[in-house]
Amino acid sequence: MTASPALSLHCWRHPRPLGAEGLCLGRTDLPVDPRRARRLAQRMRALARRERLPAVVWTSPLERCRAVGRVLRAAGWVHRVDARLVELDFGTWDGLAWSSVPRAAIDAWLADFLHHRPGGGESLAELLARVRAVLEERPRALLVTHGGWLSAAQWLRSSASAASGSPGSPGASSAPSPPGASAAPTPSGAPDPAHWPPAPAWGRLLRL
């Protein structure tokens, strides 16, 4: 039986941004190839028709997500922007190559994964708080957001499932992670790099 749209989130990671290879990419506002934005919008429209979802999309305010929303708006959809869907703020690291971020700085983040603010930006605790707010509201049927946001959503869902003894959400395909971090399928307690889920690939769907 198909879940009610009001009780389901269908979340896509945005298409691959132009020039993103190897970068620590948070709030840096890179564009996407318009063809990739159109292809993702087409997949979203097909799913909405198939599952009778409302023609409303919520996106992050960053261009790599908004571009998909604009394509859908041109096709008659309602496009709304939610600042809570934005990527983690990496502060002074943002937009740098990961290889340019000092190893000691990365190690300091991984040692206090929940509360440390990488590059003086946003902590994982702050990201988790805004992701949790969206998950608890659950009114948005279709989202276009970011890899870090989706990893946080997977961690919250898996943690809740582990606490209740029910199965968690299936893992997603890999995406770039901070050097030194790895993934494991069953998180518990406070998040740490060894239990942090990988993000979906560019343009892929995650159901929550």
Tell me, yes or no, if the pTM score tops 0.75.
Answer: yes
pLDDT of the residue at 182: 43
- Per-residue pLDDT reduced to its tens digit, 146-170: 999 999 999 998 887 766 665 444 3
Over residues 28-75, the pLDDT tens digits come to 999 999 999 999 999 999 999 999 999 999 999 999 999 999 999 999
Per-residue confidence (pLDDT) for residue 168, from 0 to 100:
45
Mean pLDDT on 84-104: 98
Three-state SS for the chain is CCCCHHHCCEEEECCCECCCCCECCCCCCCCECHHHHHHHHHHHHHHHHHHCCCCEEEECCCHHHHHHHHHHHHCCCEEEECHHHCCCCCHHHCCCEHHHCCHHHHHHHHHCCCCCCHHHCCCHHHHHHHHHHHHHHCCCCEEEECHHHHHHHHHHHHHHHHHHCCCCCCCCCCCCCCCCCCCCCCCCCCCCHHHCCCCCCCCCEEEC
Q: Mean pLDDT in the chain?
A: 87
More confident residue, 137 or 5: 137
Cβ atoms within 10 A of the Cβ of 91, count? 15
pLDDT digits (tens, 9 = 90+) for 10-38: 999 999 999 999 999 999 999 999 999 99
The helix-helix angle for 63-74 and 34-51 (nearest 10°) equals 60
**What's residue 148's pLDDT?**
98
Give me the pLDDT at residue 136, please.
87
Q: Cα–Cα distance between 182 and 194 in angstroms, integer?
A: 5
Query: For the ranges 3-7, 36-40, 85-89, 154-158, which has the lowest average pLDDT?
Result: 3-7
Please report the pLDDT score of residue 162 as a whole number: 67
The rounded percent of the chain whose pLDDT value lies above 70 is 82
Q: What's the rounded Cα separation, in Å, for the pair 188 and 160?
A: 9
pLDDT at 100: 97
Rounded distance between C-alpha atoms, residue 97 and residue 94, angstroms:
9
